[in-house]
Amino acid sequence: MKILIINGSPRGEKSNTMQMTKAFVEGITSATEAEVETVTLKSMRIEPCLGCFNCWSKTPGRCVIKDDVRSITLKMFASDVVIYSFPLFYYSVPSKLKAMIERQLPSVAPFMEGQKDYLVNGGHPPRFDAHYKTILISTCGFYPTDKSYDAIRAQFDMICGPRNYIELFLGEGELFSREVAQRRCRAKLEVVRRAGEEYGRTGTLSEETKREVGSHIFPPSMYAHMADAGWGVELEDFRAPDEETVKEVAALGKTIKLTY
């Protein structure tokens, strides 16, 4: 099995999510032989899509931008499993990962006629028959994951086909960098490692395993208190600098109020 990890965190190797990803892959390699490679987007040159559509007309299947995206795409095509490892940023993927995903446009074809399934789903047919499996691993700072990840699911439903991927989403991700939570975090990472072992043996994950991975590390009310205290900022200190925003918007002709 050939596994490509795409580390989409701006923190690079300090990513909280990568702790989960490493535990999962460790489980896979304990159950089956696997060749693992990680690409860290933080250290790579990834330009935004120009929207020129040359990859559909003048250079079919190849982007005209010369940067690191093509090498990533080739590695994806050569893999059996592609793992997207990323934190949730404002209900979506971090911007550099989003740019890399957008630059996959050469991988699909522009044609709509005769593609009834893709017309129904609103997508485009794949240009290449690559057949790699997709796994999404992500943490976020909030505790629920049922609604927080809806935008991610919608996007990858379009890219991969409805639920044609495995998701391992976990709230409370900031706990992985908090000393006070290390015992419980180690226990959670062991759950993730066992999930990887299950995937290595079976090529899939049971619903029970996915629920166990995504279950709370701390009860929500306890985590909310810990998370608020972890910022080290009192409410009044938090409010004061932003009074300037209220004044600046007022100068543009509208009245707004601070809610926090």
Q: Tell me how far CA of residue 209 lies from CA of 32, 57, 64, 143, in angstroms.
A: 19, 45, 43, 18
Same structural domain for residues 233 and 208? no
The packing angle between helices 182-202 and 207-214, to 10°, is 160
Give the count of domains, the chain.
2
Same structural domain for residues 162 and 258? no
Residues listed for the chain: 260
Does the pTM surpass 0.95? The reply is no
pLDDT in the model for residue 130: 85
pLDDT tier for residue 245 given thresholds of 50, 70 and 90:
confident
pLDDT in the model for residue 163: 87
pLDDT at 160 exceeding the cut of 60: yes
pLDDT at 205 exceeding the cut of 90: yes
Same structural domain for residues 224 and 212? no
Same structural domain for residues 40 and 111? yes
Q: Which residues constitute the domain of residue 253? A: 220-260
Express each pLDDT in 9-58 by its tens digit: 999 989 999 999 999 999 999 999 999 999 999 999 999 999 999 999 99
Same structural domain for residues 214 and 228? no
